[in-house]
Amino acid sequence: MANKKNTKQTKNSSSKFVFWMIGLVAVGVLALIFLNNFSDKKEETKTQTFDIDYSNQPFLGDENAPVSIIEFGDYKCPMCKDFTQNAVPFIQKELVDTGEAKFYFMNYSFINIDSKRSAQFAESVYQELGNDTFWKFHENLYKKQPNDAKAEKEDIYTEQFLIDTLKEVASDADVDKVVKNFKAQKSMDAWEKDMDYVKKLGVTGTPTMFVNGKMFTGQTMDDLKDMVDKAAKE
């Protein structure tokens, strides 16, 4: 059932991806250029400010930072891999480490069954091992994402693959805790909370960002910094 739903959603969402191309310009500013094919719902929601519950969500930075940035991502999304490896370090340096913002990750699992499985496993990592280990696993999982575009449709993120990936950043005892949590589906509610926000906020592709509950629709990192600066003053 999950396979059929995700396959259908992939077809319906393929034309709505937020395609990110990431590069360094001469002055050292990381530019994010994306092409959007907005659905009617996204057109309606992109100017709204939503009330978001950030509790029990993994984040980077000081929890008292005035601005909250969210990335909605899918662990099978190649653009999300690029975003994690190239944009997130810049965001952390320029906005998170300065204390101006904190950066959250929330799941939009839509590509295939691997997307849902890896997201729920990551939620189990967060629940059992905490924030720091979650981010190590999160980055490692994206690092191990296959470069072959055909892999998007294949069942690669098996339970054993996820266990082996976690073992690279956690002890065997801690891995066992996560596996028990995952098998008992204790992370299901956390994953469903993210997916409910996908619908509520009108997210149609990955990666998509929100700043203090408002969708980021800018073109560059300067646009993001300006949005964060404005949000910090409100």
pTM higher than the cut 0.85: no
pLDDT of 155 reads 80
Residue 39 has pLDDT above 70, yes or no: no
Q: How far apart are CA 61 and CA 100, in angstroms?
A: 9
Give the pLDDT score at 153: 67
**pLDDT beyond 80 at 51:** yes
Mean of the per-residue pLDDT values of the chain: 84
Mean per-residue pLDDT, 150-163: 84
Write the CATH number for 137.
3.40.30.10
Tell me the percentage of the chain whose pLDDT exceeds 90.
73
Which domain range does residue 189 map to?
A: 2-233
Confidence tier at 57 by pLDDT (50, 70, 90): very high
- Pick the most confident of 146-155, 166-175, 215-224: 166-175
Spatial distance between the Cα atoms of 124 and 137, rounded to a whole number of angstroms: 11
Burial 129-153 (b: 16+ CB within 10 A, else e): beeebbbbbbeebbeebeeeeeebe
Is pLDDT at 63 greater than 80 in this prediction? yes
Q: What pLDDT band is residue 224 in, cutting at 50, 70 and 90?
A: very high
Q: Torsion-angle region of residue 23: left (phi > 0), alpha (psi -120 to 50) or beta?
A: beta
- The tally of domains found in the chain comes to 1
Distance CA 191, CA 196 (A): 9
Residue 45's pLDDT band, with cuts at 50, 70 and 90, is low
Q: How confident is the model at residue 106 (pLDDT cuts 50, 70, 90)?
A: very high
Round to whole Å and give the CA distance between 101 and 25: 24
What is the secondary structure of the chain as a DSSP string?
-HHHHHHHHHHHHGGG--EEEEEE-TTS-EEEEEE----HHHHHHTT-B-----TT--EES-TT-SEEEEEEE-TT-HHHHHIIIIIHHHHIIIIITTTSEEEEEEE---SSHHHHHHHHHHHHHHHHHHHHHHHHHHHHHHHTS-S-GGGGGS----HHHHHHHHHTTS-HHHHHHHHHHHHTTTTHHHHHHHHHHHHHHT--SSSEEEETTEE---SSHHHHHHHHHHHHH-
Question: Across residues 197-212, what is the average pLDDT?
Answer: 96
Angle at 67 between CA 61 and CA 70, to 5 degrees: 75
The predicted structure's pLDDT at residue 8: 42
| pLDDT at 206 (0 to 100) | 95
Residue 12 has a pLDDT of 41
Q: Which of 8-17, 109-118, 181-190 has the lowest mean pLDDT?
A: 8-17
